């Protein structure tokens, strides 16, 4: 499952755990948190958030009273989650786990894969196997939510281009990015991060390199159906845009009762 292309640098999320909230946390333009909160409150029962990261969604679910546990492949992300949760007097139940090998025997009313988690399974056969294993974690009538960046026209560029400069912990975080559109439908995304102090002096620099596969709404439907789940709804950009312009497709599929 490694996306390191043979390098010895840490896996991307291990490297960015301490800047995630300023980085991808701030890059989500939609109220996906509100969408997941409403879903979990409507469904009731116990939920499992896979790829829970530093708890951007998980902490808000817990604050809303949802009975949820989290799992993530990245220990640094989980450690940051535990740290941030203490600010809300929460002590979340989390475990380190790769979704490609979900070693759980508990059953859940809702299994969530937010913020395009499925895109890290860039081999569709692995994704299909994984969705089958996750469907087995559902209670009868329970639901699986698959969320994905939808395929867009991607143009490769060879130079690193500036993505943003954001205020971060009394200084700044800058990110540059290079994208390579691969012929197999995956995209390689290389990111360079620079942490600066309030006087613009560089504190540290680090890089990530990952390859992801976008999944269309139809791809998500096929994955769910291959696991004998019944497709209930497809939401685009958490109900804010028309499907033709959407960035995210979110599929809700249910296990027959
Ligand atoms: C974009 S972040 C989303 C974090 C959080 N759910 C949120 O919405 O802010 C993706 C998370 O998925 C985790 N992840 C990626 N691939 C994974 C895998 N194969 N198994 C488990 N977690 C994975 C990463 O470590 C990271 O924490």
- Domain range holding 87? 12-151+214-254
Residue 34 sits in a domain of what CATH number? 3.40.50.150
Look at the block and give the residue holding tokens 């809702």: 110
Q: Is the domain of 218 the same as that of 203?
A: no
pLDDT tens readout for residues 23-53: 999 999 999 999 999 999 999 999 999 999 9
Q: Is the domain of 121 the same as that of 39?
A: yes
Closest ligand 1 atom to Cα of 33: 8
Q: Is the domain of 40 the same as that of 88?
A: yes
CB 118 less than 6 A from any atom of ligand 1: no
CB 68 less than 6 A from any atom of ligand 1: no
As a whole number of angstroms, the distance between CA 50 and CA 79 comes to 15
**pTM for the whole structure:** 0.95
Q: Is the domain of 96 the same as that of 168?
A: no
How many Cα atoms within 13 Å fall on the side-chain side of residue 116?
A: 22
Backbone angles phi, psi at 190, to 5 degrees: -105, 130
- Reply yes or no on whether the pLDDT at 217 is more than 80: yes
As a whole number of angstroms, the distance between CA 128 and CA 84 comes to 33
Closest ligand 1 atom to Cα of 32: 8
Contact (Cβ atoms closer than 8 angstroms) between residue 68 and residue 61: yes
Q: Is the domain of 120 the same as that of 175?
A: no
Q: Is the domain of 47 the same as that of 101?
A: yes
The total domain count for the chain is 2
As a whole number of angstroms, the distance between CA 191 and CA 3 comes to 13
Q: Where are the alpha helices (DSSP H) in 110-188?
A: 124-135
- Reply yes or no on whether the pLDDT at 202 is more than 80: yes
Q: Whose CA is nearest to atom 8 of ligand 1?
A: 115
Find the distance separating the first CA and the last CA of the chain, reported in whole Å: 33
Closest ligand 1 atom to Cα of 52: 6
**Residue 77 placed within a domain:** yes
Residue 190 sits in a domain of what CATH number? 2.20.25
Q: Look at residue 196 and give its three-state secondary structure.
A: strand
Contact (Cβ atoms closer than 8 angstroms) between residue 224 and residue 200: no
- Closest among 39, 96, 27 to 64, alpha carbons compared: 39
CB 79 less than 6 A from any atom of ligand 1: no
Q: Is the domain of 202 the same as that of 223?
A: no
Ligand 1 centre distance from Cα of residue 200 (Å): 30
pLDDT tens readout for residues 58-86: 999 999 999 999 999 999 999 999 999 99
Q: Is the domain of 143 the same as that of 226?
A: yes
Q: Is the domain of 17 the same as that of 107?
A: yes
pLDDT tens readout for residues 153-196: 888 999 999 999 999 999 999 999 999 999 999 999 999 999 99
For the packed helices 217-226 and 124-135, what is the interaxial angle rounded to 10 degrees?
50
Ligand 1 centre distance from Cα of residue 119 (Å): 10
Report the run of H or E that residue 173 belongs to, with start and end: strand 171-181
Q: Whose CA is nearest to atom 26 of ligand 1?
A: 53
Task: Place 201 in a pLDDT band, splitting at 50, 70 and 90.
Answer: very high
Q: Is the domain of 130 the same as that of 222?
A: yes
CB 3 less than 6 A from any atom of ligand 1: no
Task: Place 90 in a pLDDT band, splitting at 50, 70 and 90.
Answer: very high
């Amino acid at each position: 499952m490694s996306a390191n292309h043979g390098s010895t640098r840490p896996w991307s999320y291990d490297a960015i755990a301490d800047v995630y909230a300023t980085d991808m946390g701030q890059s989500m333009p939609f109220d996906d948190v509100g969408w997941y909160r409403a879903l979990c409150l409507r469904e009731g029962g116990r939920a499992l958030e896979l790829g829970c990261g530093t708890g951007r969604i998980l902490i808000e679910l817990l604050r809303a009273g949802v009975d949820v546990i989290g799992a993530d492949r990245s220990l640094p992300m989980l450690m940051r989650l535990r740290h941030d949760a203490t600010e809300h007097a929460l002590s979340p139940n989390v475990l380190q786990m790769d979704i490609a090998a979900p070693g759980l025997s508990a059953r859940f009313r809702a299994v969530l894969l937010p913020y395009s988690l499925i895109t890290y399974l860039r081999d569709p056969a692995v994704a299909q196997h994984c969705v089958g294993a996750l469907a087995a974690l559902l209670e009868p009538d329970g639901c699986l939510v698959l969320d994905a960046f939808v395929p867009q026209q991607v143009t490769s560029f060879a130079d690193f281009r500036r993505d943003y400069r954001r205020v971060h912990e009394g200084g700044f975080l800058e990110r540059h990015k290079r994208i390579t559109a691969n012929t197999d439908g995956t995209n390689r995304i290389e990111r360079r991060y620079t942490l600066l102090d309030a006087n613009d002096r560089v504190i540290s620099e680090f890089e990530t390199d990952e390859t992801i596969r976008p999944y269309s709404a139809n791809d998500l439907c096929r994955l769910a159906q291959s696991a004998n789940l019944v497709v209930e709804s497809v939401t685009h950009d958490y109900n804010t845009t028309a499907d033709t312009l959407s960035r995210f497709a979110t599929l809700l599929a249910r296990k027959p009762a």
